[in-house]
């Protein structure tokens, strides 16, 4: 690992830690640090307050390098932030947005938000050195283009790079929403776990794969597209044309549909009441009914968790990750959900695969996406510049 890489993956480190992480001698680490400071790539801050008294000088990526922009676009929201190279958030804004409105409307709003955030920080567009964006659809990473995105009509072939390039000189990197979350979690973990998964459960179901300390995108960039893994060959028909995809059987819309059916069939007084009042049932209504002890709602959430766990069991058998981190709006629908996913994975995976497997909520939660966008932008920008391998 190079000295710059070591500092990139840390939240700041002393020269002694740098030597340890890189395997360099103290004097070689000192030379490397001094050279990077002279080149304007590292800053050395003064002693930091800590519980253990005076902390040694701390190396971070230099703020003189410029800023990073992260844009995490979801199906119905966008999360934009500016970061310094040490990944401190400088300005942040989130708002609802409909990705189905198409790239023209969505990206012009993104540009407005970015300009507003820059103004708040007093920085010009030239000071942004890298832009990372996460999108809720399949991406060809090298070309930065969406490929047949099911919930993003009008985006296929649209060059987000060219559009943002009108205002920014910085390179633009685009990846799907779960890969940027995986990148965010990898950055948070200081790249300590070599092999883990980040599974996002919302309107759809997707998976970010970390393999040997890097985001694994597969031969065509579609690795992690687990939403259409079959969990019941005789199950419901999915919009993809096949039957029994985990997404159509267990994601947000399926939970809402099952809730509506339970309400109409007189199986849940609570949900029947919601249906009458609101005219429809949302996944979160089922979650709330479940937390209130509603038997039908409990059964729906357990079934959804069981099916997702069944899909994840296949993935765990194949990939044998150390951790499976869950995120996305549906993942927090209630305590039974996580328990049911866990039970299903442990039941259907081989003992050797699950002996040390941890299944937990993604620690960064909703913030993982936008942090991952910025971390990806920084890593890829430094690669383009030839300073990171």
Site residues, a copy of itself (CB under 8 A): 138, 147-148, 194-195, 207, 209, 211-212, 214, 216-226, 228-233, 240, 242, 310-311, 313-315, 317-322, 347-353, 355-357
Least distance CB 149 / a copy of itself (angstroms): 10
Least distance CB 336 / a copy of itself (angstroms): 20
In the complex with a copy of itself, the residue whose CB is nearer, 141 or 187, is 141
The residue behind tokens 């849940």 is 268
In the complex with a copy of itself, the residue whose CB is nearer, 354 or 381, is 354
Least distance CB 24 / a copy of itself (angstroms): 17
Q: How far apart are CA 143 and CA 131, in angstroms?
A: 15
Least distance CB 328 / a copy of itself (angstroms): 17
Q: How far apart are CA 97 and CA 138, in angstroms?
A: 19
In the complex with a copy of itself, the residue whose CB is nearer, 323 or 367, is 323
Least distance CB 204 / a copy of itself (angstroms): 12
Least distance CB 352 / a copy of itself (angstroms): 4
How buried is residue 293: exposed, middle or buried, by Cβ count under 10 Å (0-12/13-18/19+)? exposed
In the complex with a copy of itself, the residue whose CB is nearer, 130 or 138, is 138
Least distance CB 225 / a copy of itself (angstroms): 5
In the complex with a copy of itself, the residue whose CB is nearer, 208 or 328, is 208
């Amino acid at each position: 690992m190079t000295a710059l890489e070591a500092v990139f993956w840390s939240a700041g480190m002393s020269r002694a830690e740098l030597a340890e992480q890189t395997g360099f001698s103290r004097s070689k680490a000192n030379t490397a640090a001094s050279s990077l400071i002279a080149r304007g790539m590292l800053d050395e801050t003064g002693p930091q307050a800590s519980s253990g008294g005076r902390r040694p000088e701390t190396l971070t990526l230099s703020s003189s390098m410029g800023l990073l922009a992260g844009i995490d676009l979801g199906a119905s929201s966008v999360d934009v932030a500016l970061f310094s190279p040490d990944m401190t958030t400088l300005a942040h804004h989130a708002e609802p947005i409909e990705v189905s409105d198409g790239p023209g409307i969505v990206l012009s709003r993104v540009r407005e938000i970015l300009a507003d955030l820059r103004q708040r920080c007093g920085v010009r567009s030239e000071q942004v050195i890298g832009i990372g964006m996460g999108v809720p659809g399949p991406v060809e990473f090298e070309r930065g283009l969406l490929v047949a995105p099911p919930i993003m009509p009008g985006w296929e072939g649209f060059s987000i790079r060219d559009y943002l390039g009108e205002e920014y000189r910085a390179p633009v990197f685009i990846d799907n929403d779960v890969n940027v979350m995986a990148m965010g979690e990898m950055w948070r973990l200081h790249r300590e776990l070599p092999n883990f998964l980040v599974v996002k459960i919302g309107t759809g179901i997707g998976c970010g794969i970390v393999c040997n300390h890097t985001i694994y995108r597969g031969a065509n960039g579609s690795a992690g597209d687990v939403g259409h893994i079959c969990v019941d060959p005789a199950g419901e028909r999915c919009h993809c044309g096949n039957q029994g995809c985990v997404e159509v059987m267990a994601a947000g819309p399926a939970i809402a549909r099952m809730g509506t059916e339970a309400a109409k069939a007189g199986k849940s007084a609570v949900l029947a009441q919601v249906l009458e009042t609101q005219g429809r049932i949302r996944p979160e209504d089922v979650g709330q009914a479940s937390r209130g002890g509603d038997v039908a709602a409990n059964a729906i959430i357990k079934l959804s968790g069981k099916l997702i766990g069944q899909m994840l069991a296949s993935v765990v058998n194949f990939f044998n990750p150390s951790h499976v981190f869950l995120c996305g709006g549906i993942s927090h629908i209630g305590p039974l959900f996580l328990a049911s996913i866990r039970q299903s994975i442990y039941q259907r995976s081989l003992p050797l695969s699950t002996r040390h497997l941890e299944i937990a909520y993604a620690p960064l939660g909703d913030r993982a996406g936008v942090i991952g966008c910025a971390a990806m932008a920084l890593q890829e920008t430094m690669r383009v510049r030839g300073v990171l391998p």
